[in-house]
A and B are shown apart, each in its own frame.
Chain A
Amino acid sequence: SQQGEEDPQALSIQEGENATMNCSYKTSINNLQWYRQNSGRGLVHLILIRSNEREKHSGRLRVTLDTSKKSSSLLITASRAADTASYFCALTGANSKLTFGKGITLSVRP
């Protein structure tokens, strides 16, 4: 079944820097979503981009989607220590099932 693959697996940056995370996939999608998971907690939806969209913004988040390359990127600008979490891309296919990648562990050093 389709599943996004996030890259890199882990990312460590200094507070104030930007964090860029990538997701690649193999099959056609209806939309692509990014979620965040703080340690020991449930997932929280961050942003959704539809297959006919190329870029979306939400606060300090910017997500892009390139359907020709089957890839998406999530950019967090001006990172904060509170952004430390795991980030997952999720794909919604024609069967209405949302599948997740293995995630990216982001550490933001104060």
Chain B
Amino acid sequence: NAGVMQNPRHLVRRRGQEARLRCSPMKGHSHVYWYRQLPEEGLKFMVYLQKENIIDESGMPKERFSAEFPKEGPSILRIQQVVRGDSAAYFCASSPQILAEFNTGELFFGEGSRLTVL
């Protein structure tokens, strides 16, 4: 049973370009979370999605950032017109059910996508 798959693992972009980060949740998981981690810091919540729905995007910057989780295919975190401050590790995590209701309530994390903006 494959874990959460993120790609690319490393991505280099120049200022103004677009970055697309993909996340395939664990099999059977329909809930996806995206987090951002800056060096030497914790994880900052960005967005929580279920299939075809954005549930909570309170951590997403108002501009340039968007996320989707289509009925078929991986979840996508898209950053338009990247700036140097977007350089970070972006982690995706999945769960099979709403955290507050599920038995264990844990998240399963991918290995992250490390974005470097030149």
Contacts and interface: CB of A to CB of B under 8 A. Distances in A.
Interface stretch (B14-22, B76-84, B100-108): B100-108
Interface magnitude class on chain A:
20 to 34
A36 B55 CA distance: 26
B63 interface: no
B42 A103 contact: yes
A99 B45 contact: yes
Contacts of B112: 41-42
Given A94-B100, A96-B48, A45 B108 contact: yes
B105 A92 contact: yes
Contacts, number: 67
Nearest to B114: A40
Interface string A71-110: 0000000000000000010101111111111110000000
B91 to A, nearest CB: 6
Interface string B30-68: 000101000001111100100000011010000000000
Say whether chain B's binding surface is mostly helix, strand, loop, or mixed: loop
Nearest to A30: B100
Given A88-B42, A92-B105, A102-B41, A41 B99 contact: no
A31 interface: yes
A93 B35 CA distance: 17
B110 interface: yes
A56 B43 CA distance: 25
A30 B102 CA distance: 11
Question: What 5 A-B pairs have minimum CB-CB distances, sorted nearest first?
Answer: A42-B109, A45-B106, A102-B42, A100-B43, A43-B109
Interface of A: 1, 30-31, 33, 35, 41-45, 48, 88, 90, 92-103
Given A98-B107, A100-B42, A102-B41, 10 more contacts: A42-B112, A45-B107, A88-B42, A88-B43, A95-B56, A97-B45, A98-B93, A100-B35, A100-B44, A101-B42
22 contacts: A30-B99, A31-B105, A33-B105, A35-B109, A42-B91, A42-B110, A43-B43, A43-B93, A43-B109, A92-B105, A96-B55, A96-B98, A96-B99, A96-B100, A97-B33, A98-B99, A98-B107, A100-B35, A100-B42, A100-B43, A101-B42, A103-B41
